[in-house]
Structures are given as structure tokens and as C-alpha cells.
């Protein structure tokens, strides 16, 4: 089953609303049972239930996050989406804990039978806190 451009746009609109509402169940609805997720740190989850398990603590412990859509490119024929976003949330960076942080990135999404089968997430290696551009850190590593 191929989604039309409008069906992809509508699905992404519902998905973004679920993210805005911190609704893990709503976010998970658009994922295929065989979803493959890779994040910017190299972390990976295979399968819908594995992804839910990985994300549940994040949704429970990282309130106040918000993804803002900056650009979306849809390839209807290939059933692929490039979604450029801005994440705003309370920072977890050492020395800046709780301050408003802005982080930019993209998701490459592949659809299969009307569901996202691949979600590949990439993030810039810098963040903005209090108007200051800082290197993004991974515990034990530097992303400069």
C-alpha cells in the first residue's frame, strides 16, 4: 500500500501532534512493527516494542521537549521523507542543566505499507543555550 502525498502529510501532522503532547502511544502508532531506528549517537533499536522500551524512559523523564518542523521533503514515489526539525527542551549539558536548549537535526523516514519502517536521526554537533553556541556532548565523548 502506497501513501499519497496528502496521506503522508496527514500522517506526519498526527505524528507531530503526538510528539507535541508527549504521547508515546500516539507517536508509536505511525511505526511499522519492523521499525529500524538509529539515532545520532549510533544507538539502534529494531522492532516497535524494542523502540517503545527504549523511548519510554525518555518520554517519562524528559518533559518539556518540543520538536518544531522546519522543513519537510516528501518523495511520494519512493515513500520517503526528509524532516528537518528544531528541538527545544531543558538542557542536560553539564553546567547548563535546565536552561532552554535548542538543537537542530533531521530525520530520514522510509514508509512501508503506510507506516514508518526506517527512522534515521541526525543531529548537529552544536547546540544553542542562552544564545551561546556550544559543542554537543555525549557522556564520555566530545562531538566537536
Q: Write down the pTM of the prediction.
A: 0.89
Count of domains observed in the chain:
1
Q: Which domain holds residue 32?
A: 5-142
**Domain holding 90: CATH number?**
3.10.450.50
Dihedral (C-alpha) 95, 100, 102, 103: value to the nearest 10 degrees? Answer: 50
pLDDT in tens, 39-78: 988 899 999 999 999 999 988 887 789 999 999 999 999 9
Structure confidence at residue 144 (pLDDT): 32
Maximum pairwise Cα distance, the chain: 49
Looking at 29-84, list the stretches that DSSP marks H as alpha helix, in order from N- to C-terminal side. Answer: 48-61
Alpha helices in 42-92 (DSSP H): 48-61
Q: What mean pLDDT is predicted for residues 91-118?
A: 94
Amino acid at each position: 500500500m502506497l501513501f499519497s502525498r496528502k496521506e503522508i502529510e496527514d500522517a506526519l501532522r498526527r505524528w507531530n501532534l503526538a510528539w507535541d503532547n508527549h504521547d508515546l502511544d500516539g507517536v508509536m502508532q505511525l511505526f511499522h512493527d519492523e521499525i529500524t531506528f538509529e539515532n545520532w549517537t549510533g544507538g539502534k533499536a529494531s522492532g516497535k516494542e524494542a523502540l517503545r522500551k527504549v523511548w519510554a524512559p525518555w518520554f517519562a523523564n524528559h518533559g518539556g521537549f518540543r520538536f518544531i518542523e522546519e522543513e519537510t521533503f516528501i518523495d511520494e514515489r519512493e515513500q520517503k521523507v526528509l524532516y528537518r526539525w528544531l528541538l527545544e527542551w531543558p538542557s542536560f549539558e553539564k553546567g547548563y542543566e535546565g536552561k532552554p536548549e535548542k538543537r537542530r537535526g533531521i530525520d530520514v523516514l522510509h514508509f512501508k505499507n503506510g507506516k514508518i519502517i526506517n527512522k534515521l536521526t541526525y543531529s548537529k554537533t552544536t547546540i544553542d543555550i542562552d544564545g551561546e553556541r556550544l559543542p554537543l556532548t555525549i557522556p564520555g565523548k566530545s562531538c566537536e
